[in-house]
Structure 1
Amino acid sequence: MQHKILVIDDNTDVIKALKILFLINDIDCEGASSPEQGLAMLQSQDYDLVIQDMNFTHDTTSGEEGKTLYHQIRAFNPDLPIILLTAWAQLEMAVKLIKHGAADYIAKPWQDDKLLSSVNNLLEMYQLQQAQTRSKKQFKVRQEQLRQDYDLCGLVFADQNMLSLLETATHVAHSDAQVLITGPNGAGKEKIAELLVANSAYRDRPFIRVNAGALPADLIEAELFGVVSGAYTGATKSREGRFSAADGGTLFLDEIGNLPLCGQQKLLRVLQTGEFEAVGSSKTQKVNVRVISATNADLNEAIARGEFRQDLYYRLNMIELRLPPLAERPDDIVPLAMHFLSSHKSLSEGAQRLLKRYTWPGNVRELQNVIGRAELLAAGERIEATDLGLNASASTLASHEFTIEDITQALDNHQGNVTHAAKSLGLSRQAMYRRMDKFGIKR
């Protein structure tokens, strides 16, 4: 797609020269000879960049007209990159406007190479920014639609990866298909199981949960299928199993990879026929149970080692929902942290930066614990990075690529002080300058 630039300058020779320069560089360019004409064109057409003069009245050199025009354009489109065309007399005014968000200033007479370099960088950044803005708007629409149509069980999310997962989960929730939720410990697999049940025909029926990873191998069968009195030493009375308790509803089997082979065989039979016998009994029971299972293990590797039945895996895995680790859903980190905070506490900018850079090996559960501890340790109402108690070594910090919004926001927060802005981002002054140069932010 060809970019389009608007030049606003009362000197028609300037407009002609810039039109030729941009035309031979495959950039569409239009001109306006007055602020009024330029504003009218901006309201009727889409432009990717504006180059504006600082003076329009004959013999005026203060730059006030350019300042007024700049703020009028900003009020109409806060994101549109604006390059100021200045004579040396207006240099101070241009610098002030740079602090207010102008993209660059070019002194007359300009150097074609320098102007083209600035324009191309700004067009590339604006295109990326517009794409990000569109993506965020689409995300908000999809997120709101999901909240309106389904019970999300209080799930807090702001990441595209999580949105995609929840759209799939809510889509399959109404079916009777067996669902396998995979993902690391602490990522929230049980919460996804709750969402599946809440949006299914089983929502008002029993929802029984079993953590197979927390039970000794020799007791898992009795826990699932029940046991009759005297079946083994210590079984002094008969006990109903979880399948019987879940009859007509849903059974959530967490850490299914820990189920021993003999239990796997019985589970496969239940899934196929709905029938089983309690431990120590020959009486067949029949149930109607939807099974949702979860694991943090690689079941394909377990199958290769002979530790998990392949036929059971296929039966459980009619639908697989992969829950990404928290490190793969970075946009969820700060919203979740805010959710875990008490109402009277807040997170400083530095604390939020550190939360986003940390790799979260313990996932959402670790984040909740970190926030809870920080609330206790923080001296005031604002939690600082030091209150989080996170190990900031290279092994536990993710590589975080800062965006132009990160850099400009930090500079705005610290009134253009590069040293303080760099420190707030955890960068050195030189690293900050490199990123400013990369994004075309004037020093």
Structure 2
Amino acid sequence: MPTVLVIDDNPAIATALEVLFSLHDLRTLYAPDPEQGLACLATEPVDLVVQDMNFRADTTSGEEGEDLFRRIRQAHPDLPIVLLTAWTHLESAVSLVKAGAADYLGKPWDDARLMATVSNLIELGQANRLLARERGARQRTRSGIASRLDLRGMAWADDAMAQLLGLVAQVAPADVPVLITGPNGAGKECIAAIVQANSSVRDGPFVTLNCGALPAELIEAELFGAEAGAYTGATKAREGKFEAADGGTLFLDEIGNLPAAGQMKLLRVLETGRFERLGSNRERQVKVRVISATNADLPAMIRAGQFREDLYYRLNLIELRVPALADRPDDILPLAEHFLAGAKPLSPAAREALRRHAWPGNVRELKNTLQRALLLGTGAEIGVAELGLPLAPDGSALPAAGLADAEPDRAAIEAAIARANGVLSQAAAELGLSRQALYRRLERLGIGRP
């Protein structure tokens, strides 16, 4: 049960407040003077303080109350404090609200206003504690991943990437094939490099081949090598990627583009570790870990007869799916700062524009956007104009696709809170969000408590 500490030298006031709070399922503690109030705070868990401003009958200056407020604020900076007084001094009220007082009410108080204030402050305090726990958990997760993995300098912050990297930490040391899926430009090659850097063959070669960048007739020669005269233009013997990767890792990008003949031979190598160069009948033995990647729908290609099902299951012992940048919005700004490398700061408007853009080209598009902004910008910081992103008619950043439904913007949130008279749970319900989601949105947009 949330607890309110009442510090007031009038027992009748304390009794009235206790009755009022008990009707709203709040527990009340009572202290008749500042010293006992501070002692109570040192020993009892308290969610909110309601304190009087005048503790001496011979003065209405409120000096003792102001001193008490500042001592509580210093010892408990996050604890909300509501000030009550029969002698309202405007200058004092303004000064203390600026110093962090949650509200300043006169006696006799309005029950509805007081309870609205108290309920919102307790709710907000609970939300802040929940957010703090979530931030702490996320930080512990990030620290744990950073301590276990060589991340190859990758910047990230989103929970979706934390889940992916947690799986990478489990998979990387095992000598098994890995299939990395996800849209173009999302960072599949970066994840492959992290898997290799944390594998048992991290000291071996890391060889890459883009299966979509070569004609079909050359893929096999690239993979398995060729003897002199094996095909037109082959004037001397050459080793293939499997030989080059022996004792290490072979990364096959765009594996969905591998032709049928190459698929069959790749399957045999995965099963036996043996292959023959083009134009040779001598088998060669290699030990290579294969990591493959694709943005294609391989199960659909299997149904269409374009990809071997047995090869798919050989490659897909473990699947690592890299989410699109739009699905990990908390990564946008850390990645932007990483790509800028301290060359120039981003203006607040530019940061918001980056966060709201849909990024159909994913991380690659973000990197290109910032490189262009650095080349073309002439100011001390990067503004919205330098980014070259599409803007709304009023010059503001366009929301990412689907963002307006999933994450209401500032105007919608503030309007909902106003209609709910500051009751955050009611505003969250109107917006179709959980309370925790609304609290995170308030924090991200920098919207103060109502």
TM-score computed with the length of structure 1 as normaliser = 0.86
Cα gap change, 1:287 to 1:141, in 2 (>3 Å)? same
C-alpha displacement at 1:255, in angstroms? 1.4
Cα gap change, 1:77 to 1:279, in 2 (>3 Å)? farther
- Corresponding position: 1:205 with 2:204: yes
Cα gap change, 1:305 to 1:98, in 2 (>3 Å)? farther
Partner of 2:35: 36
CA RMSD between the two structures: 2.7
Amino acid of the residue matched to residue 260 of structure 2? L
Q: Is the CA contact (8 Å cut-off) linking 1:205 and 1:250 kept in structure 2?
A: yes
Partner of 1:15: 14
In structure 1, what is the Cα distance between the partners aligned to 2:113 and 2:78? 22
Cα gap change, 1:335 to 1:314, in 2 (>3 Å)? same
Partner of 1:415: none
C-alpha displacement at 1:130, in angstroms? 0.8
Q: Is the CA contact (8 Å cut-off) linking 2:53 and 2:66 kept in structure 1?
A: yes
Amino acid of the residue matched to residue 212 of structure 1? C
Identity of aligned residues (%): 53
Partner of 2:72: 73
In structure 2, what is the Cα distance between the partners aligned to 1:388 and 1:202? 41
Structure 2 gap ranges (5+) = 393-397, 425-447
C-alpha displacement at 1:11, in angstroms? 2.1
Amino acid of the residue matched to residue 310 of structure 2? D
Can you list the C-alpha shifts for 1:290-341, whole angstroms capped at 9, x where unaligned? 0111112222222222222222121111111121222222222212211222
In structure 2, what is the Cα distance between the partners aligned to 1:86 and 1:315? 75
Cα gap change, 1:73 to 1:259, in 2 (>3 Å)? farther
Cα gap change, 1:324 to 1:43, in 2 (>3 Å)? farther
Can you list the C-alpha shifts for 1:11-31, whole angstroms capped at 9, x where unaligned? 222222222222232222212
Q: How does 1:394-405 map to 2 (within 5 A)?
A: 394=398, 396=400, 399=403
Can you list the C-alpha shifts for 1:117-165, whole angstroms capped at 9, x where unaligned? 3322222222121111111112222322332333221121222221222
Cα gap change, 1:59 to 1:244, in 2 (>3 Å)? same
In structure 2, what is the Cα distance between the partners aligned to 1:390 and 1:219? 40
Q: How does 1:357-436 map to 2 (within 5 A)?
A: 357-393=356-392, 394=398, 396=400, 399=403, 432=414, 434-435=416-417
User: Aligned residues, how many?
Assistant: 420
In structure 1, what is the Cα distance between the partners aligned to 2:370 and 2:201? 35
Q: Is the CA contact (8 Å cut-off) linking 2:273 and 2:286 kept in structure 1?
A: yes
In structure 1, what is the Cα distance between the partners aligned to 2:257 and 2:58? 84
Q: Is the CA contact (8 Å cut-off) linking 1:55 and 1:66 kept in structure 2?
A: yes
| Other structure's SS at 2:293 match | strand
Partner of 2:435: none
Partner of 1:256: 255
In structure 2, what is the Cα distance between the partners aligned to 1:330 and 1:11? 53
In structure 2, what is the Cα distance between the partners aligned to 1:133 and 1:247? 48
C-alpha displacement at 1:402, in angstroms? 11
| Other structure's SS at 1:231 match | coil
C-alpha displacement at 1:398, in angstroms? 5.9
In structure 2, what is the Cα distance between the partners aligned to 1:164 and 1:280? 46
Amino acid of the residue matched to residue 109 of structure 1? P
Q: Is the CA contact (8 Å cut-off) linking 1:143 and 1:163 kept in structure 2?
A: yes
| Other structure's SS at 1:272 match | helix
C-alpha displacement at 1:197, in angstroms? 1.4
C-alpha displacement at 1:227, in angstroms? 2.2
In structure 2, what is the Cα distance between the partners aligned to 1:295 and 1:273? 24
Partner of 2:445: none
Partner of 2:276: 277
Partner of 2:166: 167
Q: Is the CA contact (8 Å cut-off) linking 2:124 and 2:449 kept in structure 1?
A: no
Runs of 4+ in structure 1 deviating by more than 6 angstroms, as ranges, are 400-403
| Other structure's SS at 2:179 match | strand
Cα gap change, 1:158 to 1:400, in 2 (>3 Å)? farther
Cα gap change, 1:182 to 1:55, in 2 (>3 Å)? farther
Q: How does 1:240-255 map to 2 (within 5 A)?
A: 240-255=239-254
Amino acid of the residue matched to residue 157 of structure 1? W
Q: How does 1:179-198 map to 2 (within 5 A)?
A: 179-198=178-197
Partner of 1:239: 238
Cα gap change, 1:108 to 1:385, in 2 (>3 Å)? farther
Cα gap change, 1:238 to 1:339, in 2 (>3 Å)? same
- Of the structure 1 ranges 204-213 and 111-120, higher mean CA displacement relative to structure 2 is found in 111-120
Partner of 1:122: 121
Partner of 2:287: 288
